[in-house]
Structure 1
Amino acid sequence: MRTQVAIVGAGPAGLMLAHLLWLGGIDSVVLELRGREHVERRVRAGVLEHPTVELLREAGVADRLDREGMPHHGISLRFDGADHRVALTELTGKTITVYGQQEVVKDLIAARVAAGEPLHFEVSGVTVDPATPLITFTDAEGAEQRLECDFIAGCDGSHGVCAPRVDATVHKHEYPFAWLGVLAMAPPSHSELIYAYHERGFALHSMRTPEITRLYLQVAPDQRVEDWSDARIWDELGHRLSADGFTLATGPILEKGITTMRSVVTEPMRQDKLFLAGDAAHIVPPTGAKGMNLAIADVWVLAEALGAYFREGRRDLLDAYSDTCLRRVWRAEHFSWWMTSMLHQAPDADAFARKLQLAQLRYVTTSEPAATSLAENYVGLPLQL
């Protein structure tokens, strides 16, 4: 097999890169370990930044997003028993859109299949040679395959085969808490996302559709899902999301899981002709809703660089890829760390620390410049800083 760009991973990063390359007349092959049904069903992020939505529209894959996505013009920071709204659109002129990551993946897979471009699910035994470059793998039928290419894009996440092939410095930060996330068959209890600061721990009220709610609770990293019955989850959410005039809608819990929180940044995001993108290169805590959006920004930069190479023979954008992406990555890392630190209860936090958090929350929600800073980071900075 021979292609111009071999892409490992059929998540939003890999599929979006493949689509952007196809629009630019550049051949690619996408390899994915899991089956199509698994990829399309796995629940991940659900908040799309303004630049992400605009790019999906420009790429012609936003028809269903525009029909079913839920535009939001603000978020609520809930503390002192009340909501304090950050008016995103009034402060920035932009919106966020609630639309599940798995829905973006479905749309991109449908576009790939409609174009008749190579997309291989259920591959195994993938090995990557960044220097040649070359990928070997076993396809779904059990046949050994050899894929030669000009470049490799590692979009296979933090546990994939590509990241270990990059000789890089890996910066890590572990947070002393985790998120218990649930998907519930219950209508949203509020028209916008609620980030709740509470003495018992952080809580987040989000949604996926007008009928399905996504909710999170701060828990200890060593907690087990089995220790959280549905009744206990709803009881704790009721405590942490309580506010004057607020009623929490409940219903059957469809899914639940615990996610530890960490920050990871790989520098550089490249080894020879292998380029990392998305979670393969960096992880952010979910508080700032940046993970998928950073992945989309990465592959936009990479698609532009590959286009310049194949059309004009230019290498400068490829050589600058890592530095270009990392400017936005580190900005998002800081914003996510700041939101996380402001809203969560650290295990060793004393009264002094909690007073500082409340002082910060009150400042952010009463100062227009401070609220604007939060808003412009939340709706999304330009794809390239």
Structure 2
Amino acid sequence: MRTQVCIIGGGPSGLLLSQLLHRKGIDSIVLERKTRDYVLGRIRAGILETGFVDLMREAGVGARMDAEGFTHTGTVIAYGEEEFGISFHDHTGKDVMVYGQTELTRDLYDARAAEGGNLVFNVDYVVIHDAKTDAPFVTYHVDGTEHRIDCDYIAGCDGFHGVSRQTIPTSVRREYEKVYPFGWLGVLSETPPVHDELIYSWSERGFALCSMRNANLSRYYIQCSLSDSPDDWSDGAFWSELKRRIPSRHADALVTGPSIEKSIAPLRSFVTEPMCWGRLFLCGDAAHIVPPTGAKGLNTAASDIHYLYHGLVQVYEDKDTAGLDAYSERALARIWKAERFSWSTTNLLHRYPDQSAFDLKMQRAEIDFLRSNDAAQKVFAQNYVGLPY
């Protein structure tokens, strides 16, 4: 087979790139190691920056998002019994959209299927060949049979454990990582959200987050030990602990119910440089990971897709490689700012096992400063809604 762009990874970033390219008349093939149902079964975040929302609309897949998504104009920061709001709209004139990643991915799958997109599932043994030449190709197996795709460019959208990043020689790439000494225990429940906006809550017992997917589907998180297992936490134990970590007026209003999904996510910050090698370009988790604090994971993938998509269009429409030549530099400049925001917000709101009394006082002073300083709130809001591409 031959295509113009071979996309490795059939998650939201790979699908979005394929859909955007299709609308510009650029062919692609998407390789996914799992099934569509498996990908749609993964529970992920659902807070979209303004840039991501615009990309979905540009890709022609924004109708259901616009109809069913929830516009959020701000957020709540709580500490102990105190809380304050930060208005994104007042500080930036922009908002964020709450729309589950599962639904977003479903929209992209449906659009690619309706338009005859070439998606290959259940692929194994993916190998990227000759990425440093003008004739790269990819081999893979399906049901024990090897296949080959010749292409002009390769987009590695296959996540942290995929083959794309590993294809770049260790003599070329440099990796930066911070592993945090805690995780997030998350519960999804068919219950109404406790508040109209997200609540990020610092407490002496650890961090908590009250979020939502829709009017009757809520997502809650509590900071937990990395040694914990979801099986260690009954639903009752989770709800009791969550109530201890949020202001009592919200705890009293909290509607609890059986969990329909429960999992623990470790937290890490990770970046690899460069994000390209020859005609191979890394996107999303293949190149970088952020802690979920601040909702940047999916959104940083979207910014990568923005830069890569426009670079590819520039090549095919104008025979100009300037956009692709600058891809890694442009993407990383924005990624490191998103990493800073996620790292900073994580440090602001979580309890660390080795925090001293002085550290706790400084943490509280940082929260008080954010509460009382308009300029600090503006910076927070600018980062949350998404820095410009």
The one of 138, 160, 178 equivalent to 1:173 is 178
In structure 2, what is the equivalent of residue 83 of structure 1? 83
Task: Give the secondary structure class of the aligned counterpart of 1:178.
Answer: strand
> Matches of 2:15 and 2:351 in 1, distance apart?
37
In structure 2, what is the equivalent of residue 300 of structure 1? 306
The one of 269, 273, 280 equivalent to 2:279 is 273
> Matches of 1:11 and 1:120 in 2, distance apart?
12
After superposition, give the CA deviation of every residue in 1:151-200 in whole Å (9 maximum; x if it has no partner): 10000000011110113101111111111111112110111100000000
8 A Cα contact 1:124 1:137, kept in partner:
yes
User: What RMSD, in angstroms, separates the aligned Cα atoms of the two structures?
Assistant: 1.1
In the alignment, structure 2 segments of 5+ residues that lack a partner are none
**Which letter maps to 1:134?**
F
1:340 aligns with 2:346: yes
**Which letter maps to 1:312?**
D
> Matches of 1:5 and 1:284 in 2, distance apart?
27
The one of 321, 325, 333 equivalent to 1:319 is 325
In structure 1, what is the equivalent of residue 373 of structure 2? 367
8 A Cα contact 2:184 2:221, kept in partner:
yes
> Matches of 2:65 and 2:100 in 1, distance apart?
10
> Matches of 1:70 and 1:258 in 2, distance apart?
26
Aligned-residue offset at 1:142: 4.2
Aligned-residue offset at 1:83: 2.1
> Matches of 1:354 and 1:47 in 2, distance apart?
29
**Which letter maps to 1:230?**
D
After superposition, give the CA deviation of every residue in 1:322-364 in whole Å (9 maximum; x if it has no partner): 0000011000000000000000000011221111111111111
1:214 aligns with 2:219: yes
> Matches of 1:222 and 1:161 in 2, distance apart?
28
Number of corresponding residues? 382
> Matches of 1:243 and 1:92 in 2, distance apart?
31
> Matches of 2:312 and 2:13 in 1, distance apart?
15
In structure 1, what is the equivalent of residue 157 of structure 2? 155
Task: Give the secondary structure class of the aligned counterpart of 1:86.
Answer: strand
In structure 2, what is the equivalent of residue 134 of structure 1? 137
> Matches of 1:166 and 1:12 in 2, distance apart?
23
> Matches of 1:147 and 1:54 in 2, distance apart?
31
Task: Give the secondary structure class of the aligned counterpart of 1:331.
Answer: helix
After superposition, give the CA deviation of every residue in 1:131-153 in whole Å (9 maximum; x if it has no partner): 341111123x5432111101100
In structure 2, what is the equivalent of residue 144 of structure 1? 146
**Which letter maps to 2:33?**
L
1:309 aligns with 2:286: no
1:288 aligns with 2:294: yes
1:111 aligns with 2:117: no
8 A Cα contact 1:82 1:244, kept in partner:
no
1:200 aligns with 2:205: yes
**Which letter maps to 1:378?**
Y
1:123 aligns with 2:123: yes
Task: Give the secondary structure class of the aligned counterpart of 2:126.
Answer: strand
> Matches of 2:17 and 2:59 in 1, distance apart?
11
In structure 2, what is the equivalent of residue 239 of structure 1? 244
> Matches of 1:374 and 1:227 in 2, distance apart?
35
8 A Cα contact 2:16 2:59, kept in partner:
no
> Matches of 1:336 and 1:58 in 2, distance apart?
27
After superposition, give the CA deviation of every residue in 1:2-36 in whole Å (9 maximum; x if it has no partner): 00000000111101110111111111000000101
8 A Cα contact 1:207 1:213, kept in partner:
yes
> Matches of 1:196 and 1:40 in 2, distance apart?
29
In structure 1, what is the equivalent of residue 4 of structure 2? 4
**Which letter maps to 2:139?**
T
In the alignment, structure 1 segments of 5+ residues that lack a partner are none
> Matches of 1:352 and 1:185 in 2, distance apart?
41
> Matches of 1:51 and 1:269 in 2, distance apart?
20
TM-score by length of 1: 0.97
More deviation, 334-343/220-229: 220-229
After superposition, give the CA deviation of every residue in 1:106-148 in whole Å (9 maximum; x if it has no partner): 0111110111020111111211122341111123x54321111
**Which letter maps to 2:90?**
E
In structure 1, what is the equivalent of residue 100 of structure 2? 100
8 A Cα contact 2:80 2:247, kept in partner:
no
> Matches of 1:259 and 1:248 in 2, distance apart?
23
8 A Cα contact 1:82 1:243, kept in partner:
no
